[in-house]
Amino acid sequence: MLSKIGSIRMRLHRPIRGDVKTLIVKRMPSGKWYAFVCCEVEAQPGEKPHGDVGVDLGLECFAVLSDGTRIENPRFYRGSERRLARLQRSLSRKEKGSQNRMRTCQRVARLHEKVENRRCDFLHKASRAVADAYGTVYVEDLKIRNMVRNHRLAKSILDAGWGRFVGMLCYKEEESGGRVVFVNPHGTSQRCSGCGEAVAKALSDRVHECPFCGLMLDRDLNAARNILEIGRGPPDLKSVESLTSTRARAYDVFARANLRKKEKMKRTLYLQFILIMFVSSYFINFVSGESDVLNEINVAERDIIQGYDAIILAEKNGVNIVNLVRDLNDAIDSLSEARIRYYQGDFEAAFSYLTACKEISTVVREEASALYLSAVEESEKKLFQNSILIRVSIIIIFFSFIFIWKIFKQHYIKKILDMKPMVE
């Protein structure tokens, strides 16, 4: 039963447990409708798993555990990429607004949804298997947003779904009484898990061979063992920003949200204070009858605006306006101080500041106008000189052409006269 809609039929994939709090009905791009039911369920503590393990996430293999367990990477998007490209080519050929384009668009959306559902199912099963087998899981604190800047690996990284896997693992470990610890990923693939020496390897080197101790094993397994060793080690080797549970991460998110809310409230209060001061200024002016100060403030504002317009005109003509802008800022500061004195009721001080503001703005306006006029005169002079040069150049070219034509004509006539008549 939905509010303002009534009763509708739905297909339950599992029974609803606990007290229903919210219900969200969402239509997916594929045309399917889903109902998201949020319920409050009491915690059911179960048997807490024991043991700890290090997990190295990768692309060749999705995850390698420090005990040698390997979770293969299914690459769902890569597997559907050819079919998706074919559907998108078909979509690009359809006429916009037609029924065929809408049907093809839904087919593309259904394929994307299928890839997402398969990936989500795989991540749930993999995270559940790890959470049920181990009480403490050590994973690398990867900055996935920075890693996807490498455009050669971005598609494969996003197709793997590392971030979603770690999020699922966090809340499942918390439900079962375990924990997830994030460690610093620096050097986990280069350090030897046997002797601790650094062994440089390229990304294409998939086997770790230590020249110091002779250890040879898969590089992902070596990294998983290093992650486990760092997690068991002293706290200074762990990531500073590591969190042990989803709840702690959520607390951090809530704290940041509350900070943003407080900052927004401060800005709102500041704007309200400015509005109150603006309204109160008119009220004080009406009650006290001191309208001369307010009129002078308006005149000073107009002078500053005129000075600003003059500076803009001068800047458009290539005039250096650094000193003028500095003087205009001084005039604005004087106007602000006059406003403050006016609100405080000190009208004499307000008048003195307004006088200084008007003098500075008048000087700025006059200097900017003079510079603008001089710049215009200079540009007109340069334009006149250029026009004279162009005219002289045209005249020279014209007379040169006439001279060349005369020479050519004389040579051609002489050549004809020298020719003998042909005799049959």
Q: Show which residues are catalytic.
A: 56, 140, 220
The whole-angstrom separation of Cα 84 and Cα 33 is 23
State the DSSP code for 35: E
Residues 6+ apart with CB under 8 A from 414: none
H/E stretch holding 312 reads: helix 291-316
The whole-angstrom separation of Cα 216 and Cα 210 is 7
H/E stretch holding 245 reads: none
Residue 267 and residue 214 in contact, taking contact as beta carbons nearer than 8 Å: no
Whole-number Cα distances in Å, 149 to 52, 145, 215? 32, 7, 33
Output b/e per residue, 347-357; b: 16+ Cβ within 10 A.
Answer: beebbebbebb
The whole-angstrom separation of Cα 256 and Cα 304 is 41
How long, in residues, is the chain? 424
Token couple for 265: 């409230």
Residue 153 and residue 67 in contact, taking contact as beta carbons nearer than 8 Å: no
Q: What's the farthest any 2 CA atoms get from each other in the chain?
A: 128
